[in-house]
Structure 1
Amino acid sequence: MGTTTDPAPGANVALLRTTRGWSQARLAREAHVSHSLLSKVEVGDRPLTPAVAAALGRALGLSMAEVQGQASVAADDEPLLSELRSAMRDYDLPQGQAVPEGRIRADLETADRRRDAVDVAALLRMLPALLRDATTYAHTQNTAESWSALADTYSTVYWLAARHRWMDLAELAVTRQRWAIEQQPNPIGEAFADRDRAGTYLNFGDVERGLDVVDRAIVTVQSTPLSTTDRDLAVGILNLRGMTLAGRLTDKRQGLREAERHIRSAWNAAGAFSHDVDAHGLTFGPQNCFTHVLATRVDLGRTRDALALTDDLDAAVAGLPPTRVAPTKINYARAQLAVGDRDGALESLGAAFDAAPQMARIHPMGREVLRVLVSLHRRSNPQLLRLARLSGVSP
């Protein structure tokens, strides 16, 4: 999956700007960011943060994801992506042959393992057929469980699309996910669907509306008769999304207030679990709550607070799937870079590539941290050259 020719997000900003015929001064003025910051982002002396990407997107009339740049697929994978889009169009057209329940359950478990391992290439290979099978199974059985299986499949499609910043596909996936889960009463499934819907607002840079989706979903969960465990799980997952959104607010004072509200609620929910649990392809518990708090602190510009959360990051994320380990290592590297610890940032970034190379190669912040390290290093470094080669960032 992916190629080594996609520009890093900061470099993509320069391409978008020059294509428009805009000067740096004009884009900085329209986006309400400093000219100096924009210049450093474009040349690779500062990483393009999500907040700045969103501001530039608003000025250019683009989503945050479009500013960061879509990750392309290898030519051999293009037919698979077309097959996946076709299967999504046929959401109400089940196949003629019945699908055994056991096969759906087994294939969903396989998809979850590949998602956790961030094996996006293998995941794309299996998703078109799985989506058609899950569609047929849901229409045939018409039970809460069968529609939930279809919704989970769409959630996995959303995850894959969001990682690559294919936002048209991501938006369609969450729309289909919500449609599937509403076919039979399923409050937990609806909460997870709302979590993914809020994710599309996150990727578009429209964090205020994303927070509205999260808060409304939390109110609905809390007013729905559920077991304590199910309620804690649903509220916790929604609060993880809420704190991430809050960290991206332009007004960092407001962001801190909103983030702390969601952080407190998430920790409270996580306290009901002795260890992280998996549900609907997602992970929730004390460890995953920690990873989100760390990321939110970094987004809020409180990098030293983020670094102070643990003195042993490996132990803090031990046992979590690579889909959580890699972005946490990237966020830690971003914090280390912000405080001037280039060697530490390079080590953390290398650990992210080791944990999930397919994710690290397309992760916008991973590519940006690497681009800045390449720009700032004045001597040859084998680790830096290795990562640059893997990601396609020019050394």
Structure 2
Amino acid sequence: MSTTTELAPGANLAALRKAHGLSQASLARQANISLSLLSKIEVGNRTLTPAVAAALGEPLGLSMAEVLGAAAVRPDDEQRLSALRSAIRDYDLPGGQPVEEGRIAATLKAVAGHRDAAEVDRLLVILPRLLRDATTHAHDKNTAQSWMALAEVYSTVYWLAARHRWMDLAELAVTRQRWAVEQKSDPLGQAVAARDRAGAYLNGGDFEGGLTIVDRAIAAAEASLAGQQLAFAVGMLNLRGMTLAGRLTDKQEGKREAERHISSAVSAAEWFREDWNRHSMIFGPQNTTTHILATRLDLGRPREALAVAENLDAALEGLPPTRVAPSRMNLARAQLDVGDRDGALESLSAAWAAAPQLARIHPMAREVLRVLTSLHRRSNPELLRLSKLSGIAL
């Protein structure tokens, strides 16, 4: 695991630069970004975006996730995380006692609820035992359903690890996830696994590699699925594709790739009156809107992102906190980019209200808060409240 930090991303970047013995001018030159931008990021006048974090990570020899900073592990979670790693290592060592299928199904349902609610603390409690039980059950029954259940557990392990930027654990989880779905062919499960694998590329800052994974998975889904299942698989893969495209260094190429994935996702969303939630993946017209907002923002077009956000309340209605909170964070970032500090604070507060555990560890929530506290010149009770919740000092 990479070194963890309680610092917000921009402050973590400054600490990393100094630890590597680089001046701002040297790092900016090597990363091909302006010295002015780097200076503003470090002092807290501009947010450190994922794309810029990836560019700065290259000369530092670090991934995007490492620049943003891995979330610190709380002392009482160390043992649980160790147990989870042990269960992942034992992927081909099932337990001796059979596990009831009903117990696996019930626990998976509970886990899906905790994941949708962004209750990350509960997931870390449940996952080590569930992973061992699902491993035993899959080896014992050897059915497509039992292997897909195991793959779904690994998908949630990936989700949990990626949210914390524990990227060694995330990459191991997606490798095991793919292995599980390949034991008994499940085309939709393979599409989900490919989406998560592309997510590991995303968090590592290899956006081009992630796009290759997405395009290959779309072709495989088109050859093996049909109807709404095909639309769901292609749609969720395109959501990942537009996110990757929005973070490409070449913004012209990024815009072309993003528009291609946006167009395909919008077409796939026409198959659905409301969003589907399958294997903890969400796709439909509403989640497509939230991803378009994020992609416009990543492309450096905050006003276009704000135009998408005009109907954000309707888009978020009925979606789980895992989608509501990041969308409110993205809205806050867009508002901050156009100088609307009060609006940004209101949106950030809404993100915290929707999913406090996720906001506590999410790099953009922490970064927007850092910049807001730097820019505000007067006492603000809400900033003070969020500062205490996040551990980021005013």
Tell me the TM-score range normalised by the shorter chain: over 0.9
Partner Cα distance (1:194, 1:32) in 2: 31
The answer on whether the counterparts of 1:361 and 1:367 sit within 8 Å (CA) in structure 2 is yes
The answer on whether the counterparts of 1:5 and 1:392 sit within 8 Å (CA) in structure 2 is no
Aligned to 2:380: 381
Partner Cα distance (2:255, 2:19) in 1: 36
Partner Cα distance (2:154, 2:312) in 1: 32
How do 1:69-148 and structure 2 match up within 5 A?
Answer: 69-148=69-148
Deviations 1:194-251 (A, max 9, x none): 0000001100100001000000111111122x23111001000100000000000011
Partner Cα distance (1:142, 1:5) in 2: 42
- SS where residue 216 of structure 2 aligns? helix
Partner Cα distance (1:107, 1:360) in 2: 25
* 1:62 matched to 2:62: yes
Deviation (angstroms), 1:392: 1.3
How do 1:233-382 and structure 2 match up within 5 A?
Answer: 233-382=232-381
RMSD value over aligned CA atoms?
Answer: 1.0
The answer on whether the counterparts of 2:290 and 2:312 sit within 8 Å (CA) in structure 1 is no
Deviations 1:49-106 (A, max 9, x none): 0111000111111100000000012101100000000000000000011111111111
Instruction: Give the gaps of 5 or more residues in structure 1.
Output: none
- SS where residue 95 of structure 1 aligns? coil
Letter in 2 for 1:282: M
Deviation (angstroms), 1:282: 1.2
Aligned to 1:198: 198
Aligned to 2:231: 232
Aligned residues: 391
Letter in 1 for 2:277: D
Partner Cα distance (1:80, 1:374) in 2: 34
More displaced, 26-35 or 143-152?
Answer: 26-35
Deviation (angstroms), 1:312: 4.3
Aligned to 1:223: 223
The answer on whether the counterparts of 1:10 and 1:48 sit within 8 Å (CA) in structure 2 is yes
Deviation (angstroms), 1:21: 1.1
Aligned to 2:38: 38
More displaced, 302-311 or 110-119?
Answer: 302-311
Deviation (angstroms), 1:325: 0.2
The answer on whether the counterparts of 2:5 and 2:71 sit within 8 Å (CA) in structure 1 is no
Partner Cα distance (1:63, 1:86) in 2: 25
Given the two structures, how large is their TM-score scaled by the length of structure 2?
A: 0.98
Letter in 2 for 1:353: W
Partner Cα distance (1:22, 1:254) in 2: 30
The answer on whether the counterparts of 2:188 and 2:233 sit within 8 Å (CA) in structure 1 is yes
Partner Cα distance (2:21, 2:168) in 1: 26
Aligned to 2:170: 170
- SS where residue 47 of structure 1 aligns? coil
Given the two structures, how large is their TM-score scaled by the length of structure 1?
A: 0.98
Partner Cα distance (2:179, 2:239) in 1: 23
Deviation (angstroms), 1:311: 2.5
Structure 1 runs of 4+ aligned residues shifted over 3 Å read: none
The answer on whether the counterparts of 2:84 and 2:127 sit within 8 Å (CA) in structure 1 is yes
